[in-house]
Amino acid sequence: MVVLCLAAALRLWRLDQVPPGFTHDEAGHGHDAVTILHGARPLYETVGYGREPLYDYWIAGLMALAGPAGHTLRFSALPFGLLTLLATFAWTRLAFDYPTALAATALQAASFWSLSTSRQALRSSLLPALFALAVYFYWRSACEPAGTPANQSQRRSGRWRMGLVALLVGASLYTYFPARVLWVVLPLFLAYLALGHRATFRRVWLSTLLAVLVGLLLAAPLFAYLRMHPEAEQRFSMLDAPLQALMAGDTSVLLKRVQSGLAAFFMPGRGDDFLAYSIPGRPFFDPLTSVLFLAGVGLCLARWRQPAFAFSLLWFFVGIAPTLVTGAAASTTRSIGALPVAFLFPALAVVACARWAAAHWGRWTAWAIRLGFAGLVATTGAISARDYFATWGESPHVRAAYQHTLVETAQYLDARPESGIVAISTVYPHAPHDPYVFEMSLEQHEFALRWFDARRALLIPPGPEARLIVPSSTPLDPYLADLPGLRLRERVALRPDDLDAFFVVYDWEIGVTRAALQEQVRGSLLPPAQEVSAGLALPVNLGGALQLLGYDLRTPAVAPGGTVELVTFWQVTDPQPVHPQNLADVNADLVLFTHALDAAGTVVGQEDRLDAPAWDWQTGDVIVQVHRFSLRPDLSPGPVVLEVGAYRRADMVRLPVVVNGTTVADRVLLPPVEITEQ
């Protein structure tokens, strides 16, 4: 209880400040939980490269009780971190003894790995808790001492526990990708029993196989969905390369990943390099714990004939199998299935050492070893707290990874409850990214939000006025900054060492900006007697969704290898034809293209981009997109024609150019750029 209370205190301390915001994956969980509250019932989530939904249902339940706030999302993993500790203790005491259980649980509670995963709002935190509970109930049911008479009540209890094992195994498959290999621990252990413990095997083989089978059947709807929608599971490609190389006879790729994955546990500088989960390069174990871990593994190998020792080895190596395939990167989460058993091995080594010392040198030496181990746990906890709250939690790069600028912006808006439109420039304006983080960070929702990246685009909404917020990381492009209608309201400073040192708030007179753009567009048009493209005149209708209002060619003459600068102006007439059906799939979004064509029609320079994504479009919006791209350096003097248009990234199909209801082209030709002499 002391260990659990201290662990809870450490995991609750400054929970609203560290981590300093939300990653895109965390915000995706929160957003999908809100959709569940509103009636969605997903079997599989498509946000974040695809993921299992059980954790989202858990968050939705918490939000139903506490409200859909970011604080609820941040708290969501903490109960599972404590449950993992409790289940670790319960199983270890049952399989080994009380001192080993206490030592393993205390060391796990003090570790950076356990601390950080307990405070991340990620579905990976759910897997070790569910599987450790499954192991506990399995051990209670299947591994009681042989020869113990069982009455009818005990047999019913055994069946009840095996039912819980099946339920927990099935539930774990709805949590995180590594669960798909973790359940294999039980059949492997059954095979082990068949080789060396026939009496136990005969007693448990049927109930074990039934529990595994029922667990897999419970997950059958998930696998049926994935079979019907193989494109939904994008993370599988992370495992594909080494396995494909292995099937082709090349073992080098897999061996390098295995070496990298094992090094992540012991070698400083070789640990998980994913900043959002750990201090890059920090191994799971410190040097002393590494030695104890290896000693514990050696002890299990020496005592492999005893089921508890063999089961521990199977659990650990199956649990880290995903990391052995993918390498050290993101091993903090991909090895999460092994978290409950990883700290058992140092505990086994210490307890065995203390008992050996007591038998040979007296009880005082055993007490000295126990005190030394208590000191190791306390030191590990102190270092973990320092590394997590000071080194990692206060890092400018971590603050950026957890989108702290958006959190500060949300707090700024919450403190100033004004209605109307708020347009926000950001690095990741696509729906599953910064907008979801902002949604989880915002307390009140009395205004309309619009999203774009001002470094190359501006989304001008309908309406007389708005607030425009521009962080230092995505400043207005010089072309856009010169537009009238923006009046500085406030420059909000963040921490001096932040990668985003400030954000700027403008009062935006939209009507003034639109009027200035109309003048700019009017100046860019060809004389009325001429046409932009054969049979076309501005504005040009593309697919009934948007129209090209005009353009501003900033570089009518360019040297070979020089840069073309073109600004295009578009108005949204009907966003539905180009609105992505799946907001989580950025490949389904629209792209604007600008190509330079030589006399033979060959593309000699291009830029395809859209920095005001179509998921956020509304009827009447005006999109200003700045295109800058280089031409080939070997061009001869003469004209190169510009063509512009739009296509969907997923299928590369261009929007048709429509005149009077008839498709006439899939591009709009603009006047040429003149290539000058060198």
Which has the closest alpha carbon to 187: 212, 214, 218, 217? 212
Three-state SS letters, 139-185: HHHHCCCCCCCCCHHHHHHHHHHHHHHHHHHHHHCCCCCCHHHHCCH
Structure tokens at 285: 């174990």
What whole-number distance in Å separates Cα of residue 312 and Cα of residue 304? 10
Distance CA 351, CA 97 (A): 10
* pLDDT at residue 79, as a whole number: 98
Contact 70, 30 (CB under 8 A): yes
Q: Directed axis angle between helix 126-142 and helix 198-218, to 10°? A: 140
* Tally of CB atoms within 10 A around 122: 24
Q: List the structure tokens of 160.
A: 């009840």
Distance CA 295, CA 272 (A): 23
Can you give the pLDDT at residue 334?
Answer: 94
Closest to 179 (Cα-Cα) out of 80, 274, 82, 52:
52
**Gap between the Cα atoms of 104 and 342, Å rounded:** 9
Token digits of residue 256: 């390098």
Six token digits for residue 670 = 């603009």
Q: Cα dist. 133→80, 164, 222 in Å?
A: 11, 9, 22
What is the C-alpha separation between 50 and 493, in angstroms, rounded? 36
Spatial separation of the C-alpha atoms in residues 135 and 208, rounded to whole Å? 11
Q: Which residues of the chain have pLDDT under 70?
A: 144-156, 235-241, 243, 522-535, 586, 678
CA separation, residue 217 to residues 165, 214, 622 (Å): 13, 5, 52
Q: 420 in the Ramachandran plot: left (φ > 0), alpha (ψ -120 to 50) or beta?
A: left
| pLDDT value of position 237 | 60
pLDDT value of position 144: 62
pLDDT reported for residue 238: 57
Distance CA 216, CA 223 (A): 9
In tens, the pLDDT along 432-461 reads 899 999 999 998 778 899 999 999 999 999
Domains contained in the chain, CATH given? 2-397 (no CATH), 403-518 (no CATH), 535-675 (2.60.40.2550)
Which DSSP letter does residue 655 get?
A: P
Amino acid identity, position 602? T
pTM (predicted TM-score): 0.93
Instruction: Tell me how far apart the alpha carbons of residues 201 and 188 are, in angstroms, rounded to a whole number.
Output: 12
Phi-psi category of residue 596: left, alpha or beta, with phi > 0 → left and psi -120 to 50 → alpha: beta
Q: To 5 degrees, how large is the angle CA 139–CA 145–CA 146?
A: 120
Q: Which amino acid is at 616?
A: D
The first and second tokens of residue 13, run together, are 């301390």
A 10 A CB-CB count for 163 gives 16
| Cα–Cα dist 233/49, whole Å | 6
Closest CA to 20 of 494, 518, 580, 451: 494
* 281: alpha, beta or left? (left if phi > 0; alpha if psi -120 to 50): left
Half-sphere exposure of 63 (CA within 13 A, CB side): 22
Please give the structure tokens belonging to residue 676: 């000058």
Q: Which tokens go with 29?
A: 């969980």
